[in-house]
Each structure stands twice: as C-alpha cells, then as structure tokens.
Amino acid sequence: MKTYFIKTFGCQMNVYDSHRIAGILEQRGLQATSRIEDADLVIFNTCHIREKAAEKLFSDLGRANLVKQARLLEGKNTIIGVVGCVVQAEDEQVFKRSDAVDFALGPLTYHRLGQVLDELEKDSGIQVIDTEFPAESKFDFLSENKAEGVCSYIAIQEGCNNFCTYCVVPYTRGIETSRPVEDVLREARKLVSDGALELNLLGQNVNSYHGEDKAGKERNLAYLLRKIGELDGLKRLRYTTSYPADVDDDLIKCHKDMKILMPYLHLPVQSGSDKILRAMNRRHTKAQYLDVIDRLREANPQIGFASDFIVGFPGESDDDFQATLDLVDEVKFITAFSFKYSPRPGTPAAEYPNQLPEKVKKERLAILQEKLFAYQTDFNQQTVGKTIEVLFENKGRHAGQLTGRTPWMQNIYAEANGEYLNKIVDVKVESATMNSLSGKIVRM
Ligand code: 5AD
Ligand code: SF4
C-alpha cells in the first residue's frame, strides 16, 4: 500500500480523528491522495447523528466499490475501511450493507488500525471488525499529534453521559472519559511548537472535563484552560462543545480573566420549550439557559453565542416551537446549527408515540432558519467599519487574497500578500454577508 484517501463525515471530533488516522498511516509510509481512484487504501470516517449523514455513507460505498472493481481490472488492489460512529451503531451490518468493506473500526478502536492492516496484508480475503469499548485509551497508543496549521484541535474528552433522548452519542462514543491533564498539556505544547497559534479543545461535552493531574487529583475545564493559556507562543484558545447545565462559575471566571479565550461560545440549547427540554432529558430549563448566558455576558460582554436547535421533536406543538423562536429573539445568536428531528434507532425518542410529520418539521426549520440567518447577518454587518484581529489561515480563491477567522469565528477575506499568512493582523471590515466578511489590512 502506498497511498490513502480519507473522507470525513460529521463533526469536528471526526475531523480530529481523521487527522490522527492520517498520522498512523503516514508513520507506515503511506501518502495522502485527494483522488479516490489513486488510493490503495480508502477510509470513510462516518457520522450516525442523523439519518441523512448515515445514509450518505452507503451511497459513497457503492461508488467506492465501482472504483475498487475498476482498479482490480488494472491489477491494483484497494482496501476499503469504514471507521467512526456508524460502525459502532451498525456493527456487522456495515459488511451486510456493502461487501466492498474490508475492515470496520469504531471511534474508540482506531488506534488498532496498524494491526488490522497487518492482518489484511497477510490475508486479503478476510473482513475485520472491532467495535469494542476498550479498557485502554486510544490516546495512549497514538503517536504524537502534528499541527494541522496555525489552528489546531485537541481532543480532551470523549463520550457523553447525558443521554438526551434523541441522541446516539452515548451509544457510539460511549460514556464520558477525560484525558489526563498532563497528556493534554504535552499535546498542546507540541502543537504550539509546531506553529499552532490557536488551539481548540474538543469533546462532546468539554465542560464536564474531569481529567486527573499528576497527583491524581481531578481537574475541571477551567483549570485546563488556565494551564494551556500560559503556553508561550499561543495566541488564541477555544473549546467546543459545552453543555449548558455544566457551565460552572470557574469557567465563567475564565471568560472574565483570560484574554486569550476567544469571545465565542457554542452552547447548544436544542429548544426553547421547557416541556420539550424535559422530553429531551436535557438537564436545564429555558430560564436556566438564559441565566448562564447572562452570567457569561456579565463576565465578558463581547461574547457571541452559537447554538444547536432541533425542530419537530416528538410532541412539539406550535406553542413549543414559538418558545424556541422567542429564545432566539432573546439571545440573538451570532450563528447556529439547526436540524429537523431525525429518529435514531435505539434512542428513547424514536419510540415516542407523537412523532411529527416531515412537512411540519420542514416548515418549522425554514421559519427558524430565516430568523437565525437574519441575526447572523445582522451580527456580521455590525462589524463593518470596525478594525478586528484576524488570524489568516489560508490563501484565498483569488491570487493576492488571504482568508482567516475573527475572534467570533467569522470567515473573513482580505487582499493581502503571503507575508501575512499564519499571522494575526488588524483588518478593517468593509463589507459583510451572512457567511463572510471582507476587509483591508490596517498597516501596522
Ligand atoms: N435529530 C436531529 N438532530 C440531532 N442532533 C443530535 N441528535 C439529533 C437527532 N436525532 C443535533 C443536536 C446536537 C447536534 C450535534 O446534532 O442539535 O447538538
Ligand atoms: Fe448527545 Fe445530549 Fe450528549 Fe450532546 S449532551 S452528545 S446531544 S446526549
């Protein structure tokens, strides 16, 4: 095997996992290719959160199988692997759905990829699956992480104990585990020495982080943020995703004290109706959510909030939906992800009797998104005329252009030569749309 191709579905955690998988493969001497036709090894890193994401995998596998057959005619072998949450949820069904699949690994066992590839090299006729919830942590077996660029991610926590009634995560990523403080710090130091200026701490539920320090004492997210915030050379720090009921005073204080902590917070609320929040098994009411927002705003009035919403949850009435719209008006989220409720096999809500018709879900999503998009556009337009610090991460589509992010995660592009790439630069915003800003560099 010489080349590999990875396609990643789903969340930022999957993007991180794919990066770590690429690290394993590169250590074995494989090289990345962006063309599936050229790949000796094809890996799909999958998402099971909504039906649409999971179904997409199976159409991609169909196409990958055609490529595999075509390559076979040229005398080239192709190994196809499926990793991630669909594997954990569907287990051996993955093989039944597509016989092109040679191996399948869950999100907690991909550190065993090397062994699996060794087995397949010995005997290409077999199919290997590993969906164990292992006692060991995969992080202890992965080699050092390499920075993806100036903005890098670190998984600090994985899994979830909240069991929201719609969600597959506790079943696919398992119960909550936190990486030890020292492991996270080691990875953070390495990424910063590789050139990362911004670190984003990742997990399904990062603010319930409870990793052990050297002395075996459990530490919270605020402690970890402060430690990482002290690293020489690091300019920006973020964390995602947080659970509203687990935002503690210590964390709120970080937003007051730590300049390095960016004024942007992704805090999923899902619904504005207490009745629906209860049916979702969320551990917060609308009022408690708003209280957390108030306290964070008091700590740092600059914070912009992002959220996730589900519309059309079983039993959601017009009034319940209206309560969600009202909440949006109260908070004025600067960006948001909104979804139609998708019943997932094995989750309690999928069995609830009062499922809503697709038509209602679709209508409500359109109404909600219109409101969310208007607030997002407003927020972006308010930045016009202001000078904002931008971290330029990439070359733009046109020559002489760079793209980057503002502290609020807005995409921004500016006419700028390569010397500004990978730097934080003052940019005066000149125009804004819903999805991006454009501006001019302010000469320093
Ligand atoms: N249907 C629709 N959206 C879902 N999410 C999680 N499970 C479902 C589901 N069954 C959404 C939630 C969560 C985000 C990652 O995905 O809003 O915050
Ligand atoms: Fe899923 Fe709820 Fe856990 Fe988020 S908090 S991962 S929505 S179970």
Q: How many CB atoms lie within 10 A of CB 246?
A: 18
Does the domain at residues 138-381 carry the CATH identifier 3.40.50.300?
A: no
Q: Give the DSSP per-residue string, 283-295.
A: S--HHHHHHHHHH
Q: Give the DSSP per-residue string, 354-409.
A: -PPPHHHHHHHHHHHHHHHHHHHHHHHHHTTT-EEEEEEEEE-SSTTEEEEE-TT-
242 lines ligand 1 (CB under 6 A): no
412 lines ligand 2 (CB under 6 A): no
Structure-block tokens of residue 374: 């208007």
d(CA 4, CA 120): 15
Q: How many CB atoms lie within 10 A of CB 373?
A: 15
Pairing of strands 103-105, 41-46: unpaired
Q: How many CB atoms lie within 10 A of CB 258?
A: 17
The atom number, within ligand 2, closest to the CA of 163 reads 8
CATH code of the domain occupying 387-441:
2.40.50.140
Enumerate the CATH 3.40.50.12160 domain ranges in the chain, comma separated: 3-130
**Residue 49 CA: which ligand is closest?**
1
Task: Pick from 158, 162, 171 the residue to mutate for probing ligand 2's pocket: most ligand atoms within 8 Å of its CB.
Answer: 162
pLDDT by 10s per residue, the chain, length 444: 799 999 999 999 999 999 999 999 999 999 999 999 999 999 999 999 998 877 888 889 999 999 999 999 999 999 999 999 999 998 888 888 888 899 999 999 999 999 999 999 888 788 899 998 887 888 888 878 887 789 999 999 999 999 999 999 999 999 999 999 999 999 999 999 999 999 999 999 999 999 999 999 999 999 999 999 999 999 999 999 999 999 999 999 999 999 999 999 999 999 999 999 999 999 999 999 999 999 999 999 999 999 999 999 999 999 999 999 999 999 999 999 999 999 999 999 999 999 999 999 999 999 999 999 999 999 999 999 999 999 999 999 888 999 999 999 999 999 998 999 999 999 999 999 999 999 999 976
271 lines ligand 2 (CB under 6 A): no
Q: Which DSSP state fits 212? A: B
Fold for the domain defined by 3-130? Rossmann fold (3.40.50)
d(CA 14, CA 160): 15
Contact 272/416 with Cβ under 8 angstroms? no
Please tell me whether residue 300 adopts helix, strand or coil conformation.
coil
Please tell me whether residue 322 adopts helix, strand or coil conformation.
helix
Structure-block tokens of residue 390: 């931008």
344 lines ligand 1 (CB under 6 A): yes
Enumerate the CATH 3.80.30.20 domain ranges in the chain, comma separated: 138-381
* Helix (H) or strand (E) segment spanning residue 201: strand 198-202
Distance 266 CA to ligand 1 centre (A): 14
Distance 341 CA to ligand 1 centre (A): 7
Q: Which DSSP state fits 218? A: B
Enumerate the CATH 2.40.50.140 domain ranges in the chain, comma separated: 387-441
Task: Pick from 49, 85, 160, 271 the residue to mutate for probing ligand 2's pocket: most ligand atoms within 8 Å of its CB.
Answer: 160
163 lines ligand 2 (CB under 6 A): yes
Please tell me whether residue 165 adopts helix, strand or coil conformation.
coil
348 lines ligand 2 (CB under 6 A): no
